[in-house]
Structure 1
Amino acid sequence: MSIAEIGEFGLISRVVARLGTGSAALLGPGDDAAVVAAPDGRVVASTDVLVEGRHFRRDWSGPADIGHRAAAANLADIAAMGATPTALLVAFCAPADLDVAWAEELAGGLSEEAALVGASVVGGDMSSSRTITIAVTALGDLGGRPPVVRSGAQPGDVVAIAGRTGHAAAGYTILSRGFRTPKMLVEAYRRPEVPYAAGPSAATHGATSMIDVSDGLLQDLGHIAAAGVVGIDVRTDAFEVPGPMRDAAAALGVDPYQWLLAGGEDHALVATFPPGAALPGGWREIGTVHNGTGITVDRKAWSGPAGWDHFR
């Protein structure tokens, strides 16, 4: 059955039936707007868009996978501010001949990823379009803490990471070469494993700056360096190359550190902490902040691409 056969409101009813309700949702889908609790009195907000052919391919990922990815990209931004995600708003544009089941499974993936942090999809919009487009806005609560911004890094700070990098980039390369294994890397591309709790934990442990790794570790660290007017050096010996990644890199003729340092979409969190501070659980040191500008790797300039750019 296509979307055209059941119409906009039929699709809405089917999609809403797949959505859960988070504790912050005081009024969910069904009215002119949702009502979301904001106990802190401030709302953290972020938005992101996924376009078919640019951010995902239906022959590479199922609709539930794409829903997980769309939600994760936004929920990670909230966590990177040191906040707890509370709700998602989703705009969905699709061709009228798209199968209804595809949209339902997409909604299920969105809902499942949001539920990992106790959030839910509370509303959105739909429209007909030649290209499937999913625009998500995430909301979050700071819990009385100040936001952890990009500009706070100071010389002497320790650079640390929570989560994994390079896995999604490796999976993307594998799929683009026409392969489907190693499964671990392909699945990492399809569904990121985001360390959501590490964001608020870093905030309570005094993180001076933080960002999620969506475009590539070096590129995203570059945003922290530019905002704080500091230099950052990353150590390659802080990264372990998993066996499946090493094997895939050898088979495909790729330097695995290109994936680890410049690959995005794993949505790891990277932060800076004052020197001597005890890192919270799940965080590990990967570098240092110093007087200077830009990013170096093992104290040398990085010669390869640093990350993703939508317009290059």
Structure 2
Amino acid sequence: MQALRRPGGSVSVGELGEFGLIAGILARLPQGASSLLGPGDDAAVVRATDGRVVVSTDLMLEGRHFRRDWSSGRDVGHKLAAANLADIVAMGATPTALVVGLACPADTAVDWVNDFADGLREECALVGASVVGGDVSRADVIMLSATALGDLAGVPPVTRAGARAGDAVAVAGRLGHAAAGITVLTRGFRSPRMLVEAHRRPQPPYAAGPQAAAVGATAMCDVSDGLLADASHLADASGVSIDLRSGAFPVPEPMANAANALGHDALRWILTGGDDHALLATFAPAVPLPAGWIRVGEVLEAGEDGPAVTVDGGPYDGPQGHDHFAR
């Protein structure tokens, strides 16, 4: 089949070929100390200092998780890496490596793929991780996958199942920014820039996960589907209820202005918006919260109907967060 060339003369993936594409990607991905054997063999070898490996995986699909007219390849690389690395730190672990899958149309510009690889590299560099391997294939739209690995360094993992009645509920990182950003973009605007950039490139609080684990966080999770939805996962796993205080969440001025301009509720973005990859954790009452964490509620005994999440003592009216298969 004749290779396709992008409009304007830029080189396409089909023209460069699979092995040329892989070689170009690998040239942009240096290896860190945890990578004992990087790309080039059938599998990579990654250091695991205490014999345990923390693993998480994510998928991203063009048209559902990102749009190329809204986000650059570099943005998408940052976003894919951040979604995976945040899951690792949410267990109290340190990310060490990422394995990435890329499927795309043959006419995809190689420049876009190179920018994507640069975004992966730059995001991984924030935590000292490396992209140690992956795969490429052809598809009708861009499809991405990533699997992140992490090291617990001798400490127990912090799961969703340890919260107890009386614990403080706290969050670290941004909430509602990405949801506000995609609302702005959907309405045809490109500002406030802070919100639009939050959709393009999340900023997970990477250091906050291991810090919470170090002071004895009883439960923790990444907020990817929305605070209410992920708090429900934590409550169900722990067999408790959680009450959140709406007044505990600061609303930055750009978000308040956007909500007023678009006729939206800023608190709804904060409580139900996903993709910021903040961290949600619970702490025993006597434990001082680490820097960067703010208390937003408390853990209660589960009621007669089982675990629940409430806001200001009552049920929250409306969607609870993101569901991939909801209509």
Q: CA deviation at 1:30?
A: 1.1
User: What's 2:322 paired with?
Assistant: 308
Moved over 3 A (4+): none
Q: CA deviation at 1:300?
A: 1.0
Task: Give runs of aligned pairs for residues 216-295 of structure 1, distance below 5 A.
Answer: 216-292=226-302, 293-295=307-309
User: Match of 1:26, as an amino acid?
Assistant: L
CA contact (8 A) 1:61 1:190 kept: yes
Task: Give runs of aligned pairs for residues 60-75 of structure 1, distance below 5 A.
Answer: 60-75=70-85
Match of 2:105 among 77, 81, 95: 95
Q: Helix, strand or coil for the counterpart of 2:30?
A: coil
Q: CA deviation at 1:282?
A: 1.1
1:299 aligns with 2:313: yes
Q: CA deviation at 1:131?
A: 1.3
Q: CA deviation at 1:77?
A: 0.3
> How many pairs does the alignment contain?
312
Distance 1:40 1:177 in 2: 49
- Runs of 5+ unmatched residues, structure 1: none
User: What's 1:144 paired with?
Assistant: 154
CA contact (8 A) 1:20 1:115 kept: no
Match of 1:30 among 24, 40, 46: 40
User: What's 1:48 paired with?
Assistant: 58
**What TM-score results when the alignment is normalised by the length of structure 1?**
0.99
Q: CA deviation at 1:20?
A: 2.2
User: What's 2:130 paired with?
Assistant: 120
Q: Helix, strand or coil for the counterpart of 1:287?
A: strand
Q: CA deviation at 1:21?
A: 1.4
Match of 1:190 among 200, 211, 214: 200
User: What's 2:86 paired with?
Assistant: 76
Q: Helix, strand or coil for the counterpart of 2:17?
A: helix
Q: CA deviation at 1:110?
A: 0.6
Distance 2:45 2:239 in 1: 39
User: Match of 1:234, as an amino acid?
Assistant: L
Distance 1:80 1:137 in 2: 15
Distance 1:23 1:274 in 2: 35
Q: Deviations over 1:203-240 (max 9, x none)?
A: 11100100000010010000000011100000011111
CA contact (8 A) 1:84 1:117 kept: yes
CA contact (8 A) 1:151 1:224 kept: yes
**What TM-score results when the alignment is normalised by the length of structure 2?**
0.95
Match of 2:117 among 107, 113, 116: 107
> CA-atom RMSD, angstroms?
0.6
Q: Helix, strand or coil for the counterpart of 1:76?
A: helix
User: Match of 1:299, as an amino acid?
Assistant: G
Distance 1:17 1:104 in 2: 10
Q: Helix, strand or coil for the counterpart of 2:169?
A: strand
Match of 1:158 among 168, 172, 176: 168
Match of 1:175 among 180, 185, 199: 185
Distance 1:219 1:20 in 2: 37
CA contact (8 A) 1:168 1:266 kept: yes
- Runs of 5+ unmatched residues, structure 2: 1-10
Q: Helix, strand or coil for the counterpart of 2:145?
A: strand
User: Match of 1:124, as an amino acid?
Assistant: G
Q: Deviations over 1:223-280 (max 9, x none)?
A: 0000111000000111111111001000101000010110010000010000121111
User: Match of 1:39, as an amino acid?
Assistant: T
